[in-house]
Amino acid sequence: MELEKKPIREFTAEVIRVIHETPSTKTLVFDISHVDFDFYPGQYVMVNVPYEDQVLKRAYSIASPPTQKETLELTIKKVPEGRASTYLTEKVKEGDEFLLKGPYGKFVWLPQMGTSLVLIGAGSGIVPLMCILRYIVSAKLEHVKATLLYSNTHYEEIIYREELERMDKHSNIKVVHTLTRSHPPDWKGYTGRINVEMILKEVEDIPTNLYYLCGPPAFVEDIASMLLELGVDKNQIKKEKYD
């Protein structure tokens, strides 16, 4: 379905809080109370990042739901050799201001598109998926059923871990974790990469759901291939790749 485009806004916003999510990831909370800014769950903004004598333009998915009008949250994972992500995770402090522009992107979900969702993410690929989950919770969309399959390398790197634990207690949301490299001795989730067996065990009515995949390109394509093998129509699979 074609969605009406949200107006593109360009505005300066102040960082009013920095949240330490994991050893490599931070969430920047911006004050946007002065801007008429609206977006669809899953969209992103462009951020102007000052770096030495230049300005780097980078795309970051919005983590906060569109129901949250006063603030905008961007969750950023430090990428090895990544100039912008290193600056944003190591240098930024409360009171800093950035030029933001958006919203952009077609990786979006609204209830009229389908009410049975499977969200599959790896690492910081959780961010637009979390925006969708937060929208379901904040808008009290209890008729929407969502399953999240979330892959990380280590337990310490699970972004939004405590909030996801709370979400898992909602009757219409199911959260499934897997760790691919190491795990605590008392770990009760899966280990290893997301595979067909895991999908078959954790996802109901496989051919009828809407699927949202986000993570590194190889991860996204691998999962998409599995879903096609399981009989999912390619039009029911939405993909967002993070390099």
Q: What is the CATH number of the domain that holds 203?
A: 3.40.50.80
Q: Once rounded to an integer, what is the mean pLDDT over residues 195-214? A: 97
Question: Is residue 198 over pLDDT 90?
Answer: yes
Question: Is residue 36 over pLDDT 90?
Answer: yes
Which domain, by its residues, includes 43? 9-104
CA distance 97 to 13: 5
Query: Which helix (H) or strand (E) segment is 218 a member of?
Result: helix 217-229
Q: Once rounded to an integer, what is the mean pLDDT over residues 130-154? A: 98
Question: Is residue 1 over pLDDT 90?
Answer: no
Span 51-78, pLDDT tens digits: 989 999 999 999 999 999 999 999 999 9
Question: Is residue 22 over pLDDT 90?
Answer: yes
Question: Is residue 84 over pLDDT 90?
Answer: yes
- Any domain includes 2: no
What's 89's domain CATH number?
2.40.30.10
Q: Could you tell me which residues are beta bridge partners of residue 122?
A: 151
Q: Do 237 and 156 reside in the same domain of the chain?
A: yes
pLDDT of residue 54: 95
Question: Is residue 226 over pLDDT 80?
Answer: yes
Question: Is residue 149 over pLDDT 80?
Answer: yes
- Any domain includes 147: yes
Q: Do 215 and 180 reside in the same domain of the chain?
A: yes
* End-of-domain residue from the set 48, 83, 104: 104
pLDDT of residue 132: 98
- Any domain includes 4: no
Whether 20 contacts 61, CB under 8 Å: no
The reported pTM is 0.97
pLDDT above 70 coverage of the chain, percent: 100
Q: Once rounded to an integer, what is the mean pLDDT over residues 22-44? A: 98
pLDDT of residue 170: 97
DSSP string of 77-110, one letter each residue: EPPTT-HHHHHHHHT--TT-EEEEEEEE-S----
Strands (E) in 23-43, as ranges, are 25-31
Q: What's the total number of domains in the chain? A: 2
Q: Do 24 and 82 reside in the same domain of the chain?
A: yes
Q: Do 42 and 135 reside in the same domain of the chain?
A: no
Q: Do 100 and 135 reside in the same domain of the chain?
A: no
Whether 174 contacts 198, CB under 8 Å: no
Question: Is residue 182 over pLDDT 80?
Answer: yes
Q: Do 151 and 182 reside in the same domain of the chain?
A: yes
